[in-house]
Structures are given as C-alpha cells and as structure tokens.
C-alpha cells in the first residue's frame, strides 16, 4: 500500500453560494503555495448556484464535500477538520484574497513558536483599511455594553472602552490576543482535533470566539501576526441591514455568555445580560426596518401630501382650524390611495432589488389613483373632486419618476456602472495579453456607463503606448497620485498581470473610501467587487423582437418629441426667430439627407458658429417628425438593417468616444432598438446634457 505524502497545511473553506469569490481565493492559494504541500477541502452548504460543478471543472484537485442542507459554519468546518491530514489547518472564508507570502509566513511562525495553538494575520477591508475584527477580546458583559453604547467607537484608544476590538493596540505590532476572526484562523491541527473543532450549537457567528476561548483555556497561545495580510471582501457593513444576521448574531452572543459565564453570575445579572442582548437586537432590528422602509415611506408621503394639498387648495381649507374638517371629510381618500399603493407595490415588486425602476413606479401610481377614482365613482359620498385626482396623478408621476431618476443616476453607488448620468471613471491596472480582450469585453456591456481614464502598467513606462486605443498613462508606483489627479471612481486589477502583493500594496497606499477596487481573473468571466459579481457575458443580439417598433412605444416617443420640441420652440422664439429671418437668405445653408422619405434637414454651416439657430431648426424638424430627440446619427445610418429615425443624440452617439470598432458601435444601436423605452430616451438626453459627449459637433465635419 502506497504511503500517503505528508501534508503541511490543510486549507478548509465552507462555501455557500459564493463560487466566484471562492474561485478567486483558490487562485490566490495556488499562487501562494511555494514549496508547501497543501490539501484543500471545500465544504458546500447546499448552495443553489451549482458551486460544486462550477469549481470541479476548474479545480479538480480540491476535495469537495457536498451537504444536502445548510448545516451551519461550525458543523461544516468540523466535517473537513475530521478528515484533514495537514500538520496545520487554515480555516478561511471563501470571500477573501491572500498574499503570495501568507501561507509561508504563517507556517514559519507556527514552526518557530511551538507554544502557539492558533494564529491570525492582518485583515484588510476592500478599501485597504485595517479591519478591526483582525483581533478581538473575549466579549464580557461590560465590553459588549461599551460597544452597544458606542463608546468603543468614540474612544478607540481607551483600554477600557476599546477592549472589544483591542483597537488601542498597534495594528502592525505582533502580539498575543484572545480571539481571532473566523475568516482566517491558522491552527495546529492536533490542537483543533483535541478541542473537537467548533461547537455545533453555534449555527453561525460566535463559534470563532468560543473556539478561541477553549484554545486559551487549554493553555495554548493565540498570536496576531501582522507580517502578512489578506483582503476580506464582505465586511460587517454588508450584514447589518440583514434581519437574519441580527437574529443569528444576537442569539450567538447569548449562547456564548450562557455557556461560559452562565454559572459565574447571579440569576439577576444573567437576566440583565439577556435583557441587554434583547434590547440590542430590537434596536438593530428597528434600525434595519426603518432603513428598509424609509424609501417607500418617503414616496407614500409625497403622494399623500400632493393629494392633501389638492383638497386644501380646492376647498379653501383653513390650516389653523380646518384640519378637523379635513380629517372627517377627506382622510378616507388618503387611506384608500395609501392602501392601493401598497398593494400595487407588492404586486409589482416595487421595492425589490431593482428599487429604482421608473416604469414600475409609474404603473403603481396610475393604479393607485385609478383605483381611488373607480371606488369613488360607486361610493358617491367620497367623490369630492376627480380633478384633484387627475392633477395629483400627473404631479405624483413626475415627482416620483424624477426622484427615482436622480436616485438611479446621481446617487448610485460607484460599485455599479449602470444607469448613472455621470460616467464612472475607472483605471485598469495591469497590461498583459488579457487586457486587450478585457477592454473589448467590457465595451460590449452597452448598459454600463463608464469611462476608461487610462491603463496603469505593472512595469515602468518608457514610451507612450496604447492598448485598444486606451493610453497607458503611468506605472503602478504612480497610481496613488494618478487616482487623485483624475478623480477616479473605480480601479480594476488584472489578476493575470499582477501579484496579490502588488494589489494589496496599492490599496493600502491609497486607502480612499470613495474608490472602489475590483478584480478580474484570468478567465475574464466576471469582475469581483466588495460584495457583488458582475458577469461579462455577451449580450444576445439576434432574432429578438424590437421594442422600438411596437406601436405603443412609437406613440409615446412621438408624443414626447412633439410636446418637448413645441415647448422649446415657444420658449426660444423671441430670441432666435429674428436672427433666423435675417440670415436665411445667405448662402451658408447645408442639407443633410436621411434614408426616410422627406427627412432632409437644412442647417447653417458651420454648425457650431450658428449653434443656437441650428438647434432651433432641429427642434422644428423634430416637431415635423423628420427626426427625433434620440435616434440614429444625423449624418449617416451605417447599418441598412437597423434603419430608424435619426436623432440629435443617441446611445451610439454618446458612446462614440469609448468604442472604436464598427461592430461595437452597431451593438449600441441594436441594444437601443431592443431595449427601447421612453425612460431610456430621457436617460440618454440627461447623459448628453451632463456628459462630455457632444454628438452634434460632428456636423462641422460633415462632407457636403
């Protein structure tokens, strides 16, 4: 029988629906292996994202254990601990990234310190800042109380109040600590098995504290080793709004207290602790509910204020002494519209993850007012004024739609590149054979509003170079200064071109909370962010019904063009019309022909010299139906199969500066036709007004 080779480190990872993060971690583990012999055990807790099949194809040497149900963090780890053969065992979260020196640094530390039973390294947040949970104390009733009261955050250097996270200690100084984070725990395997691993009664949270407490009781040291570090992508901030987290965390907190302190204190004191934990849970739950409900409440408040203002103005209700009359006569309408709005919101999933959907809020508002109008038609005693309902419908639709548009664009998180008026400015760091493919790949993501401000080379830049028409503007050593100089929102690291040491060094140097760091694996399948995955799949473009061609969308688009162009023509008439009359007979008029019948547009040349007069003429052409506000380029229509009305701007036009191949440009036109809605037109118009792109400048170069 062949003798099994000795294993230096057994690496144990529990996975639950985070296969992409785990794939990223496995890549970093193999890069950090060096001469060490590794055994990697992945325990899958009944993931529904096909994690096992996805990972087996890419990492066949890993040992996989698949549970049919989610058995919890501790129990799943114990399954792997029981079969592990390594001299040391690393318990690590799947949503982490280790450095090239992490494994060898921790291995050498344990070899040189036989009295140490477990050790941890420095944890970094995705923005490069130090993660407080890197080392902690055993929670006592008082340290937990200081944390609940906010004194830990208020006095981070005070040994009494800051005991929970030991934040008074130097983050770069090696030390003995009571507790490590469960996201990275490096054990002697014999110690881990001697203690029988984690306590199964802790489903999630608290099991790392309990295990470390038992390590201390067994007489072993626990060391904090800041000589190496890892990035932990999903920090505490991603959990606090989750109701399940609040319940599980507070339950674990009480379980730990009951197990280790329950017999040390009187019944009265234990009751006080339980009460404190319950109060903390209720407060956390209330804060989460309030934050979750703040947006729906604000929209409901706006609708009710509009309806109330309509009644007050229509019936001259005195605000000082007429509110009682309002309550008796008109409050029923407020209750009705609130009830129908909430039912509509539930039906349309208005407050699901896609919380900024403009079309859905319009449907819900129309349903609410139409429902009230229908009810009051049959219940005559509540039929006060349908004029108020009609005006309220229009005003509510406009205000709530604009609010969602602003929320979607101006206030959106830089983690995402969709839907913002101002493009997300990003750097791509690392130049190898995958960089060119990656740039071409993200250019196919038509719904991402981004601007590649430049490439950062992993080598010194001697001569100016470009990759896919994107300039290399500096080396990785210059990155911190370039980020601030160019006001960068995102930095995307090419993992195939960079070492993890280089990446971690960069983010610790910048440490800007307004900059989002993302990583692209060699496979170019996805982009990994702090707590989200963005896939780079191609967009289907063939044999799909064009939303642009539907009669309803054609009617809405034409109505929008007529209304807006007419308003602009009337507003500009006193200022522009006299100049037009005076200059019209001069010989500087150009004509631009289109493929549609009677679609020739006459303008003054050069365009920019007569910008305002030409805009006025274009508004007239829009009113006549020759062109549209948003459509194909004015000067030409490049794809015979995509013939559609020309526009002053368009999705293709505002993206001309970031795409260079004709096939990429046509993709934008196809996307526009497939995904057309009036809200897409409005979005394009706002981006045109707010962005650097000036689509009509090309008219100056138009070949007569």
Q: Is residue 348 part of a domain?
A: yes
The CATH number of residue 80's host domain is 3.90.550.10
Q: Who has greater pLDDT, 594 or 400?
A: 400
Predicted pLDDT at 22: 93
12 and 148 part of one domain: yes
Instruction: Show the CA angle centred on residue 492, arms to residues 491 and 495, nearest 5°.
Output: 135
Average pLDDT, the chain: 81
- The 10s digit of each residue's pLDDT in 387-430 is 888 899 999 999 998 888 777 665 555 555 555 667 888 999 99
Q: Which of 506, 535, 564 represents a domain boundary (last residue)?
A: 535
Q: Is residue 305 part of a domain?
A: yes
Q: Is residue 541 part of a domain?
A: no
Tally of structural domains, the chain: 4
439 and 575 part of one domain: no
Q: Is residue 192 part of a domain?
A: yes
**Averaged over 223-228, what is the pLDDT?**
95
The CA–CA distances, whole Å, from 656 to 266, 380, 651, 652 equal: 73, 58, 9, 6
36 and 172 part of one domain: yes
522 and 560 part of one domain: no
Nearest to 304 by CA among 372, 396, 377: 396
380 and 442 part of one domain: no
Q: Which two tokens stand for residue 368?
A: 């609410």
Beta-carbon contacts of 684 under 8 Å, excluding residues fewer than 6 positions away, are 630, 649, 650, 651, 654
Q: Who has greater pLDDT, 256 or 510?
A: 510
Beta bridge partners of 14: 43
The H or E element spanning position 490 is strand 490-494
Contact 457, 476 (CB under 8 A): yes
* Omega within 30 of 0 (cis) for the link into 517: no
524 and 596 part of one domain: no
The answer to whether residue 232 scores a pLDDT higher than 60 is yes
556 and 489 part of one domain: no
62 and 91 part of one domain: yes
Predicted pLDDT at 319: 67
Predicted pLDDT at 510: 81
The CATH number of residue 444's host domain is 3.40.50.720
145 and 207 part of one domain: yes
Q: Which of 120-124, 270-274, 293-297, 389-393 has the lowest mean pLDDT?
A: 270-274
Say which DSSP state 477 is in. G
Residues comprising the chain, all counted = 704
40 and 111 part of one domain: yes
Q: At 371, is the secondary structure helix, strand, or coil?
A: helix
Q: At 9, is the secondary structure helix, strand, or coil?
A: strand
Q: Which of 535, 564, 597 represents a domain boundary (last residue)?
A: 535
- Residue 413 CB neighbour total at 10 angstroms: 12
- The 10s digit of each residue's pLDDT in 443-481 is 878 778 788 999 999 888 877 788 888 999 999 988 888
**Averaged over 646-662, what is the pLDDT?**
84
Say which DSSP state 187 is in. E
CA 139 to CA 137: how far, in whole Å? Answer: 6
173 and 322 part of one domain: no
The CA–CA distances, whole Å, from 627 to 16, 259, 617 equal: 53, 75, 11
Q: Is residue 97 part of a domain?
A: yes
**Averaged over 473-496, what is the pLDDT?**
89
pTM of the model: 0.72
> What percent of the chain shows pLDDT beyond 70?
78
Q: Is residue 174 part of a domain?
A: yes
What is the domain range of residue 529? 424-535
Q: Which of 409, 440, 473 represents a domain boundary (last residue)?
A: 409
Q: How confident is the model at residue 192 (pLDDT cuts 50, 70, 90)?
A: very high
Q: Is residue 265 part of a domain?
A: no
- The 10s digit of each residue's pLDDT in 523-562 is 777 888 776 777 776 544 444 467 888 888 999 999 999 9
401 and 475 part of one domain: no
Q: How confident is the model at residue 278 (pLDDT cuts 50, 70, 90)?
A: low
Q: Is residue 416 part of a domain?
A: no
Q: At 359, is the secondary structure helix, strand, or coil?
A: helix
- Within 473-594, residue ranges assigned H as helices are 479-485, 500-510, 551-583
The answer to whether residue 308 scores a pLDDT higher than 50 is yes
């Amino acid at each position: 029988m062949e003798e099994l080779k000795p294993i230096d480190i057994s690496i144990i990872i529990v996975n639950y629906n985070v296969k992409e993060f785990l794939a990223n971690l496995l890549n970093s583990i193999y890069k950090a292996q060096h001469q060490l012999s590794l055994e990697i055990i992945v325990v899958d807790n009944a993931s529904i994202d096909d994690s096992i099949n996805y990972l087996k194809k890419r990492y066949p040497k890993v040992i996989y254990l698949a549970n049919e149900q989610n058995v919890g963090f501790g129990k799943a780890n114990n399954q792997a601990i029981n079969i592990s053969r390594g001299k040391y065992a690393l318990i690590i979260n799947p949503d982490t990234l280790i450095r090239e020196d992490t494994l060898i640094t921790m291995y050498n530390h344990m070899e040189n310190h036989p009295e140490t039973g477990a050790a941890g390294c420095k944890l970094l947040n995705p923005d490069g800042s130090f993660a407080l949970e890197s080392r902690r104390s055993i929670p006592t009733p008082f340290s937990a109380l200081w944390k609940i009261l906010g004194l830990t955050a208020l006095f981070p250097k005070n040994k009494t109040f800051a005991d929970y996270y030991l934040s008074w200690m130097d983050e770069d100084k090696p030390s003995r600590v009571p507790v490590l984070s469960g996201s990275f725990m490096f054990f002697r395997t014999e110690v881990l098995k001697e203690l029988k691993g984690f306590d199964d009664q802790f489903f999630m949270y608290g099991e790392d504290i309990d295990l470390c407490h038992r390590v201390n009781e067994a007489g072993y040291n626990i060391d904090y080793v800041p000589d190496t570090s890892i990035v932990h992508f999903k920090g505490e901030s991603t959990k606090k709004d989750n109701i399940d987290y609040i319940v599980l965390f507070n339950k674990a907190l009480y379980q730990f207290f009951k197990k280790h302190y329950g017999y040390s204190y009187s019944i009265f004191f234990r009751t006080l602790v339980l009460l404190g934990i319950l109060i903390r849970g209720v407060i956390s739950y209330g804060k989460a509910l309030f934050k979750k409900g703040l947006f729906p409440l604000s929209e409901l408040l706006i609708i009710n204020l509009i309806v109330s203002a309509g009644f007050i103005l229509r019936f001259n209700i005195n605000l000082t002494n007429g509110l009682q009359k309002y309550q008796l006569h008109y409050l029923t309408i407020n209750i009705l519209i609130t009830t129908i709005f909430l039912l509509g919101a539930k039906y349309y999933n208005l407050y699901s993850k896609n919380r900024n959907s403009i079309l859905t809020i319009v449907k819900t508002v129309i349903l609410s007012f139409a429902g009230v109008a229908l009810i009051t038609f049959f219940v005559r005693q509540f039929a006060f004024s349908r004029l108020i309902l009609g005006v309220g419908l229009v005003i509510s639709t406009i205000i709530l739609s604009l609010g969602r548009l602003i929320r979607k664009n101006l206030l959106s998180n830089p983690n995402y590149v969709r839907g913002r008026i101002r493009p997300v400015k990003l750097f791509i760091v690392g130049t190898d054979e995958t960089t060119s493919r990656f740039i071409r790949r993200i250019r196919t993501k038509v719904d991402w509003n981004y601007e590649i401000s430049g490439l950062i080379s992993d080598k010194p830049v001697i001569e100016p170079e470009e990759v896919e028409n994107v300039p290399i503007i500096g080396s990785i050593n210059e990155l911190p200064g370039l980020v601030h100089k160019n006001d960068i929102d995102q930095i995307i690291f090419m993992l195939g071109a960079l070492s993890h040491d280089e990446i971690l060094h960069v983010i610790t140097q910048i440490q800007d909370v307004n900059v989002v760091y993302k990583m692209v694996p060699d496979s170019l399948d996805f982009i990994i962010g702090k707590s989200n995955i963005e896939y780079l799949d191609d967009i289907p473009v063939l044999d799909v019904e064009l939303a642009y061609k539907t009669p309803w969308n054609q009617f809405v688009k034409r109505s929008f063009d007529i209304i807006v162009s007419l308003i602009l023509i009337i507003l500009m008439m006193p200022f522009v019309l006299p100049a037009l009359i005076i200059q019209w007979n001069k010989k500087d008029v150009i004509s631009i022909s289109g493929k549609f019948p009677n679609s020739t547009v006459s303008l003054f040349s050069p365009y920019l010299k007569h910008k305002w007069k030409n805009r006025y003429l274009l508004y007239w052409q829009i009113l006549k139906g020759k062109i549209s506000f948003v459509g194909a380029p004015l000067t030409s229509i490049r794809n015979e199969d995509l013939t559609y009305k020309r526009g002053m701007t368009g999705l293709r036009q505002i993206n001309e500066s970031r795409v260079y191949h004709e096939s990429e440009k046509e993709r934008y036109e196809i996307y526009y036709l497939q995904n057309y809605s009036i809200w897409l037109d409005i979005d394009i118009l706002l981006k045109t007004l707010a962005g650097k792109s000036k689509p009509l400048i090309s008219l100056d170069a138009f070949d007569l």
